[in-house]
Chain A
């Protein structure tokens, strides 16, 4: 890593800021919008994923382990690397301890990787923020985390990343309630995402996934279409 560069590329400015991290956060801010929402019985992730008649369909929301998945805002290729690393972390844990990794453990380990890239020699921070959704079997609860380019992580009830995230979060503050169930959660998440859309939202340019006791899985095009119809 860092091709034998011995020194940090991310260093403190006179005002005490780590500018490379601030710039990475800009890459996130300018990225396609994504939303995460924790319902009482599961977690929803949703994101804009534009399509074209010339593209082959490519998913943005990825599964990390049976009960954990994630979505990002920012640089897609950077996200790909982190997803690969997250999967490795999850499977190594399972191999060693004989049980699925808990969401918190995965998040803290992945965040430590992101922190490494703000301090190690010759590397730049990741240009993504991740929303990680998970279901912990014991004691049977849903979890939603955000991982930032700095390596900091936050546990959210509901949040948004990418373009228009401030508007989305204000919208969520009004609409979110702790008693929402998964279906209503999907509904609220889609309404929030629509606030960030410049164009019309259809089942061809939005991607949705849910995580609950039965695992993490993406909704099919038809399921998304049905939810959109109900908006």
Chain B
């Protein structure tokens, strides 16, 4: 019962009588209100798209990225949840990847980096009495073992590999749509699909200022994280709006 929950829910690392970790669940609740981010595996790259929540005329957005971050030469990530907690985890990830490179002379494999951070996140749910990190992450990377990979992790320290997924606001609607529409896309098709999903999850009207979009591609022996230009994002939005108009017109004629 809810009253019972109160007695156990702030003790961060112990089970409630029903065997639940409330702090972890509450942290996930926080993330479900954060700006959406999604990732889609294509045959020749990975599309990462995110909704920017901090949009204000006076914000200086030339200085810092809001959602998509480069972790190492072959791995990038996007985050949803408590910004300050995310910054700490991003630092950890960058440090881990750099230490691996120093120790072994080659790029850290994607799953290893994800696992490393998830082990840390799991510790916070079992040891020490500290609250968990209120962040979920999507990791996009390339390595010579498994090629292009997309992973998701959450405050519990759990992680899974995905072909396409979404976290943050309206993520269930997004994942349902992705499940329907994902059909081994090319990068171009994946960009279109990403925009289609974003238009569904955003509570506000789609606009280039509200979207951060990047593609991760591996070519000529190097991995690149390329942010889509304002023009490209605008064009994708326009295509999406045209498609929606066509669909409405077709439905009206029936």
Contacts and interface: CB of A to CB of B under 8 A. Distances in A.
A112 interface: yes
Contact of B130 (A8, A104, A144, A172): A8
Interface size class of B (residues with CB under 8 A): 35 or more
A65 interface: no
A157 B84 contact: no
Contact of B131 (A10, A17, A172): A10
A172 B128 CA distance: 45
The majority secondary structure among interface residues of chain A is mixed
B175 interface: no
A154 B56 CA distance: 11
Contacts of A154: 54, 59
Contact of B60 (A17, A144, A151): A144
B239 interface: no
Contacts of A219: none
Interface in A121-153: 121, 143-144, 148, 150-153
Contact of B23 (A12, A104, A111, A176): A12
Contact of A119 (B5, B62, B130): B130
B28 interface: yes
A111 B86 CA distance: 12
Interface stretch (B30-38, B39-47, B203-211): B30-38
A16 B33 contact: yes
A108 B87 contact: yes
A176 to B, nearest CB: 6
Interface size class of A (residues with CB under 8 A): 35 or more
B87 A16 contact: no
A108 B88 CA distance: 10
A115 B87 contact: yes
B85 A11 contact: no
Interface of A: 6-8, 10-18, 38, 104, 108, 111-112, 114-115, 118-121, 143-144, 148, 150-159, 169, 172-173, 176
Interface of B: 5, 9-12, 22-23, 26-33, 54, 57-64, 82-85, 87-88, 91, 128-134
